Amino acid sequence: MHRLIGAGLLGLALLPLSALAERQSLNEGWRFQRGDPEGYAALLQYDVRPEIRQSADGKVADARPDEAEKLQRPADGLLKPWILPSGNAFVADPARRAQRPSTDPAVAPPLLRADFDDRTWRAVTLPHDWAIEGPFLATGPYGGMGRLTTWGPVWYRKKLDIPARDKGKSIFLDIDGAMSHASVWLNGRLVGGWPYGYNSFRLDLTPYLAPGGSNQLAIRLDNPAESARWYPGAGLYRNVWLSVNDPVHVAHWGTVVRTPEVSREAAKVELAVTVDNDGKEAAALEVRTQLYLLNEDGKRTGAAVATLPAQRVTVAARGSATVNADTRIAQPRLWGPLPRQRPHRYVAVTTVSRDGKAVDTYETPFGIRSLRFDPDHGLFVNGEKIMINGVNNHHDLGALGAAFNVRAAERQLQMLQEMGANAVRMSHNPPAPELLELTDRMGILVMDEVFDSWERKKTPLDFHLIFPDWHEQDLRAMLRRDRNHPSIIMWSVGNEVGEQYTGEAGAAIGTRLVNIAREEDPTRPITGAMNYAKPDMALPATVDVISLNYQGAGIRSLPGQFPGFHQKFPDKMIMSSESASALSSRGEYQFPVPGVNSAPVRPGVGGDPKRQQVSAYELFAADFGSSADRSWAAQDQNPYVAGEFVWTGWDYLGEPTPYYGARSSYSGIIDLAGFPKDRYYLYQSRWRPDLPLAHLLPHWTWPERVGEVTPVHLFTSGDEAELFVNGKSQGRRKKAPYEYRLRWDYVVYEPGEISVIAYKDGKEWARSSVKTAQAPAALQASADRGTIAADGRDLSFITVRVTDANGVTAPRADQRIRFTVEGPGELVATDNGDPTNLESFKSPERAAFNGLALAIVRARPGQRGAITVRATAEGLRPATVTLQGR
């Protein structure tokens, strides 16, 4: 029978997987240590790295990438010859596949031995991001990488007990992500590895294992300094698995489901299954597949809705074979994005039999849906026009760092959907597999992206160093892993690459990548995000969809590029792969307020360099970007534009434009702690036009501004509104064409209350008010979920608010709050959303930032019961939240 150990995080099926195979989670029981043994560092490097002559930190985000350095490579002493063969399965041309040296590398540090004493090493559970604990770097470079040390060699060790019954089976190590330059050793021998820290990969452990006893696994990572423009994370930051299979089994990511004909009445489903035979003899096999509906939790439900014709095939020893079959489903339940459609899914259950006995089953979730990319009208899903209301998101989870957590990612997506977002661009790398399971289940469109750089570099030690050797392997690996996810609507092969500047030479690389993508998946369009290329340049012609970063609205003083691209490429859909890049600090308001609708951040005009904070009037942006207002005007004036991916949905660690002394970005619609900025409601007013909404800003607690002009802005889904200050009308305003907010720029501050009545089509639509807060008097606490699983992974996010005696939020409060946890739970991290805060996320204390702070709590594995979380601050009434761990 099928035995699956440690899978299914929070009810999510980690699919596809082999059901007759034993797929064990290897997340528990690791030992961790930073640094190499003395004298071994040079011998354990993957390849030569150039000397860092100048830091890229603080470099303008849209700066032109540089040409790669020419390196002298030694004849021996590096691990590259043993690592390169790990990617051979993804190299199409056999002549280009790497040959492993006949002998093992001449390096054997003591820590590879089974008898090495690692008891002084730290015990850790995966996913693990060792860098997120800090300390933050207060001085020097690396603001771009989040002011956290993510570089340097580290080791992980774990015992693998392989029972004797598994002798003769094929046993694989599956790593969902390791940052970076991974080398994997088993029983003292180098198995292989993978340099790119964002890709998932598989290694065959079979030749190195000794079934019937303990086997010593050791993994070395060596993330470079200056390797990213944002926080890359560190460590084994995604899940790790052991897969035990019959020698005859469905290949790794070995199924492809396609639905070439889709209507409400019927759908054609095509399935290709690749079977590997690791045995010494040819195998005559039968491959059968049945299709089932999945429920909202991703679990199979009901009887089979269709059966594909059985296929017979003989697979040569040490060979592979692919079989194809198809069927039709009547009245299919279609997958589509919320809220307009529903994300229905199916699963293909494939059984491989030999001599009448099942040797493997494999489950492939998929969705049935049609896509059309219209150059004049945008995206159509299942025949319905869907405006892309999307965001970009980096891979870190704020205070949790890069260590992937299903609940934290789900919370991000839920808040974005509540705002009205229906799409996410994976910026700028393959995501965790579970994130795509979430987007499938939640009905969110995805642009899946593989690279931030090609051969030209953005930072001295980024991916450009391995691109020539690994671009094919990395691209094919992402495509094969992700191709059956219905949420993915297009592939991106690059972001703002330096090859925009190199004419036909750069276009040749783009063509190579696009052709690889088309070989793997001819059903989706391929794109690449461009921030420099113009319509008459070579690179745009290589892609299927024109994706522009900021150029649509215009960069700096340059005019918008939508019309030029539409005229040059009348057969290609156009969209904003990055729009806006507006900047703000939650709850920070600076005066005076300019009368423009978009402006770059400057000292005294949107920015305070001394405090490193940006005004939250939501009028300010990076020099190359614009406010939401200006971006929307460009889209609305060019109605063929398919939509946008805003930069960014959430604040993220690193790249803290405009102040590189900070730890995190200012571009998020939601801050790093998960508290919405005012901009959240501006996007909600556009993306959810049927939601009655009236959001006023700024707060109304300004004792030092009595009698001074304090502009009031309103974000509303209505079309006009009347503002009142202490009951006195300040006038009724109506939105003009290409105007997306209402503003009263000459309001004079007086304490009390501001209120607004919003109207739509002449009828009252929504009301809102903001009161002046008195002195801080109490804490209020609330949890996003009161019941969590007692598995050590599920999380509760607890918001603590500083209020006055009447319960009004004190919007400028900065009291220091201490968190304690009683019962079978523990505090994981704290935050407040302040981009300048350099206190460790592990601290149980956190100053409120503009009245708010966050605590993240989990239940201890297997320990159920009440968990009490207390928040205390000097001079304030404490707050308590009780959770249930189940």
Catalytic residues: 496, 578
Distance from the Cα of residue 262 to its chain's centroid = 30
Torsion of CA 256, 260, 262, 265, to 10 degrees: -100
- CA R_g for the chain: 28
In the block, residue with structure tokens 């993306």? 687
How far, CA to CA in Å, does 637 sit from each of 217, 561, 630, 632, 799? 59, 12, 11, 8, 40
Based on the number of CB atoms within 10 Å of its own CB, is 530 exposed (0-12), middle (13-18) or buried (19 or more)? buried
Task: Please confirm whether the linkage preceding 74 is cis (ω < 30° from 0).
Answer: no
Alpha helices in 33-125 (DSSP H): 80-83
Judged by DSSP in three states, 400 sits in helix
In the block, residue with structure tokens 């004036």? 637
How far, CA to CA in Å, does 761 sit from each of 269, 639, 688, 875? 47, 23, 16, 49
Question: Are the CB atoms for 305 and 329 separated by under 8 Å?
Answer: yes
Residue 842: CB atoms within 10 Å: 13
Alpha-carbon distance of 619 to 536, in angstroms, equals: 33
Torsion of CA 852, 858, 859, 861, to 10 degrees: -170
Judged by DSSP in three states, 694 sits in strand
| N residues, the chain | 886
Catalogue the E-assigned strands of 551-604. 574-580, 599-600, 602-603
Helix 433-442 to helix 406-419 angle (10° resolution) is 40
How many helices and strands in the chain, by DSSP H and E?
A: 8, 51
What pairing do the DSSP bridges indicate for beta strands 545-549 and 574-580?
A: parallel
Alpha-carbon distance of 307 to 658, in angstroms, equals: 57
Q: Which of 677, 442, 643 is nearest to 562 (CA)?
A: 643
How far, CA to CA in Å, does 824 sit from each of 174, 792, 829, 857? 32, 10, 16, 11
Residue 367: CB atoms within 10 Å: 22
